[in-house]
């Protein structure tokens, strides 16, 4: 499969037979807070096609990947369970070593037999792989070729396959630097998702409505201005922590518990950004008219004009969901990223459940993306009623806004270098 409009090589165009392949996957999965175990396996399932293809080529496969938390920058987990689950699904062993690229990992890669596969330790153990480093240090891909990860693993590999479109917005060494010197190609899932998105983005049915929720709000904020300026989005409905930040920007006092939460997660700066977005696009950004909280073990709701300062607001209220559902029913295209509230709790699942139902029931072309978003859809509705279930969340909304993503730029550069060398 090749997509000329993408100007990216697919893995089918590389000779990978018997070669040592560095394979960057995104199997970053929602984790159950109580057990610390993976609670949705969608990204593992979606990675199987590429891994089976590599196995059929008898490649020696070193998988590099990350596992984060539901909040930004909590990246503490080993990836042993990911390896166990992949082994079960594939029917052949995928080993694990809890070292991303040190001497033990390098020895394990050198020892891979033809058809062997191993996941190396969580990439986020490395400072150079976290967003804080990316945002503060701003290395170019050329400079990243000198990072510990790239100079440790690069010389051991003969090819680089990236199947991590859902991390395409991250300009980290594992995503953009190996392409500087290794023959590089996109995996099956990457190709499939980008091709489907390009098709719908070329002429989306209008109006085009975005729903932005969840707790990882930096990605949504990063794209919203551009999406509304460029006309990619006609309206944005807010939920989750994003909605609370917008309400605070409107001067609504959500109380100490909410303000403390926003502050403790380092999200305070987004209130100013929200104010600027409202000044520029207030007519297109919808915020909740009511919110839900817990009192004496019961769900309670209040209009935002009457919220009480000591409660923590963790779901949209019924009136908001009804108003949003009407907008979704009349949309031409719907893009959903992030749940409406704390959907894992039975008390606070109804906002997400009802909105996902409204999305599925709408005649609009519907796209949902992101770990928690997909988990909620697979829990609450028949996800096959949606037009596209994308593994990407943050990357999806940024791609839709028209932003040139670091991964796409790196893959296109590798592709054009290859053509010039021929
Ligand atoms: C995602 O889930 O959006 C990607 O895996 C990137 O994860 P990150 O937001 O922790 O960088």
Q: What is the mean pLDDT of residues 4-21?
A: 90
pTM: 0.91
Instruction: Write the CA distances from 26 to 20, 162, 168, 175, 177, integer angstroms.
Output: 19, 9, 10, 10, 16
| DSSP letter assigned to residue 162 | E
- How many whole angstroms separate alpha carbon 271 and alpha carbon 267? 8
Nearest by Cα to 60 from 118, 103, 11, 105: 118
- State whether the beta carbon of 121 lies less than 6 angstroms from ligand 1: no
Tens digits of residue pLDDT in 347-387: 999 999 999 999 999 999 999 999 999 999 999 999 999 99
For ligand 1, atom 6, name the residue with the nearest CA.
167
- State whether the beta carbon of 394 lies less than 6 angstroms from ligand 1: yes
Q: What is the pLDDT of residue 404?
A: 92
> How many of the other CB atoms lie within 10 Å of CB of 106?
17
**Looking at ligand 1, which atom is closest to the CA of residue 394?**
3
End-to-end Cα spacing for the chain: 20
Percent of the chain with pLDDT strictly greater than 70? 97
Specify the 3-state DSSP secondary structure of 139. coil
**pLDDT greater at residue 418 or residue 363:** 363
- State whether the beta carbon of 320 lies less than 6 angstroms from ligand 1: no
Confidence of residue 1 (pLDDT cuts 50, 70, 90): very low
- State whether the beta carbon of 170 lies less than 6 angstroms from ligand 1: yes
- Ligand 1 center to residue 386 CA distance, Å? 22
For ligand 1, atom 10, name the residue with the nearest CA.
68
Tens digits of residue pLDDT in 306-344: 998 889 999 999 999 999 999 999 999 999 999 999 999
**Looking at ligand 1, which atom is closest to the CA of residue 28?**
5
- State whether the beta carbon of 28 lies less than 6 angstroms from ligand 1: yes
Tens digits of residue pLDDT in 170-183: 999 999 999 999 99
Please, which contacts does 129-137 make with residues 24 or more away whose CB atoms are closer than 8 Å? 129/66, 129/100, 129/172, 129/173, 129/174, 130/73, 130/75, 130/172, 131/72, 131/73, 131/170, 131/218, 132/73, 133/172, 134/170, 134/171, 134/172
Domain range 206-363, its CATH number among 3.40.50.300, 3.40.50.2300, 3.30.110.30, 3.40.50.1260: 3.40.50.1260
Domain ranges across the chain: 11-193+404-421, 206-363
Domain range 11-193+404-421, its CATH number among 3.40.50.1260, 3.40.225.10, 1.10.1040.10, 3.90.110.10: 3.40.50.1260
Pocket test for ligand 1, best of 169, 338, 394 (most atoms within 8 A of CB): 394
**Contact present, 228 and 281 (Cβ < 8 Å):** yes
Q: What is the mean pLDDT of residues 1-16?
A: 79
Pocket test for ligand 1, best of 76, 163, 216, 265 (most atoms within 8 A of CB): 216
- Ligand 1 center to residue 298 CA distance, Å? 33
Q: What is the pLDDT of residue 74?
A: 64
**Looking at ligand 1, which atom is closest to the CA of residue 66?**
5
Q: What is the pLDDT of residue 4?
A: 46
Confidence of residue 288 (pLDDT cuts 50, 70, 90): very high
Q: What is the pLDDT of residue 282?
A: 95
Q: What is the mean pLDDT of residues 125-153?
A: 94
- Average pLDDT score, the chain: 94
Q: Which two tokens stand for residue 356?
A: 């996902």
- State whether the beta carbon of 167 lies less than 6 angstroms from ligand 1: yes
- How many whole angstroms separate alpha carbon 227 and alpha carbon 146? 35
- How many whole angstroms separate alpha carbon 178 and alpha carbon 411? 10
Nearest by Cα to 306 from 348, 362, 247, 389: 247
Residues pairing with 298 in the sheet? 295
- State whether the beta carbon of 131 lies less than 6 angstroms from ligand 1: yes
> How many of the other CB atoms lie within 10 Å of CB of 56?
11
Instruction: Write the CA distances from 344 to 7, 29, 264, 319, 348, integer angstroms.
Output: 40, 15, 21, 21, 7
- How many whole angstroms separate alpha carbon 51 and alpha carbon 45? 10
- Ligand 1 center to residue 394 CA distance, Å? 7
- Ligand 1 center to residue 392 CA distance, Å? 8
**Contact present, 306 and 339 (Cβ < 8 Å):** no
Tens digits of residue pLDDT in 189-230: 999 999 999 999 888 999 999 999 998 888 888 889 999 999
- State whether the beta carbon of 26 lies less than 6 angstroms from ligand 1: yes
- State whether the beta carbon of 166 lies less than 6 angstroms from ligand 1: yes
- Ligand 1 center to residue 216 CA distance, Å? 9
Q: How many residues are listed for the chain in this entry?
A: 422
- Ligand 1 center to residue 17 CA distance, Å? 31
- State whether the beta carbon of 68 lies less than 6 angstroms from ligand 1: yes
Confidence of residue 72 (pLDDT cuts 50, 70, 90): low
For ligand 1, atom 4, name the residue with the nearest CA.
167
pLDDT at 110 over 90: yes
For ligand 1, atom 9, name the residue with the nearest CA.
72
**Looking at ligand 1, which atom is closest to the CA of residue 68?**
10
- State whether the beta carbon of 171 lies less than 6 angstroms from ligand 1: no
- Ligand 1 center to residue 111 CA distance, Å? 30
Nearest by Cα to 73 from 239, 242, 266: 266
Tens digits of residue pLDDT in 391-417: 999 999 999 988 899 999 999 999 988
- State whether the beta carbon of 371 lies less than 6 angstroms from ligand 1: yes
- Does the fold of domain 206-363 match that of domain 11-193+404-421? yes
- State whether the beta carbon of 369 lies less than 6 angstroms from ligand 1: no
């Amino acid at each position: 499969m090749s997509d000329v409009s993408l100007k990216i090589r697919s893995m089918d165009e590389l000779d990978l037979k018997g070669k040592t392949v560095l394979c960057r996957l995104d199997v970053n999965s929602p984790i159950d807070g109580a057990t610390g175990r993976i609670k949705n396996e969608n990204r593992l399932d979606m990675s199987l096609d590429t891994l089976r293809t590599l196995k059929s080529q008898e490649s020696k496969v070193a998988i590099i990947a990350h596992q984060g938390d539901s909040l930004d920058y909590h990246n503490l987990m080993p990836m042993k369970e990911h390896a166990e689950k992949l082994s079960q699904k594939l029917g052949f062993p995928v080993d694990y070593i809890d070292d991303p690229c040190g001497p033990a990992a390098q020895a394990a890669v050198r020892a891979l037999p033809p058809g062997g596969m191993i996941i190396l330790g969580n990439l986020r153990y490395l400072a150079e792989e976290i967003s804080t480093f990316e945002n503060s240090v701003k290395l170019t891909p050329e400079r990243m070729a000198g990072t510990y990860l790239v100079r440790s693993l690069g010389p051991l590999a003969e090819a680089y396959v990236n199947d991590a479109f859902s991390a395409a917005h991250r300009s980290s060494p594992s995503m953009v630097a190996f392409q500087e010197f290794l023959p590089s190609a996109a995996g099956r899932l990457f190709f499939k998702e980008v091709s489907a998105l390009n098709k719908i983005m070329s002429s989306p049915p209008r109006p085009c409505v975005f729903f932005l929720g969840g707790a990882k709000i930096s990605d949504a904020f990063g794209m919203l201005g551009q999406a509304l300026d460029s006309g990619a989005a006609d309206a944005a409905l807010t939920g989750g922590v994003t909605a609370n930040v917008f309400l605070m920007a409107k001067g609504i006092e959500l109380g100490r518990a909410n303000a403390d939460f926003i502050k403790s997660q380092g999200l305070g700066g987004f209130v100013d950004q929200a104010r600027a977005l409202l000044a520029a696009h207030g007519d297109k950004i919808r915020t909740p008219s009511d919110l839900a909280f817990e009192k004496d073990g019961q769900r309670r709701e209040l209009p935002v004009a009457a919220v009480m300062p000591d409660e923590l607001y963790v779901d949209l209220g019924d009136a908001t969901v009804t108003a949003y559902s009407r907008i979704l029913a009349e949309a031409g295209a719907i893009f959903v990223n992030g749940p409406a509230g704390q959907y894992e709790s039975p008390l606070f699942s109804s906002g997400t459940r009802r909105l996902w139902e409204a999305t599925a029931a709408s005649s609009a072309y519907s796209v949902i993306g992101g770990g928690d978003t997909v988990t909620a859809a697979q829990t609450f509705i028949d996800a096959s009623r949606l037009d596209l279930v994308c593994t990407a969340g943050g990357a999806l909304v940024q791609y839709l806004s028209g932003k040139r993503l670091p991964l796409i730029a790196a893959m296109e550069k590798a592709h054009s270098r290859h053509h010039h060398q021929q």
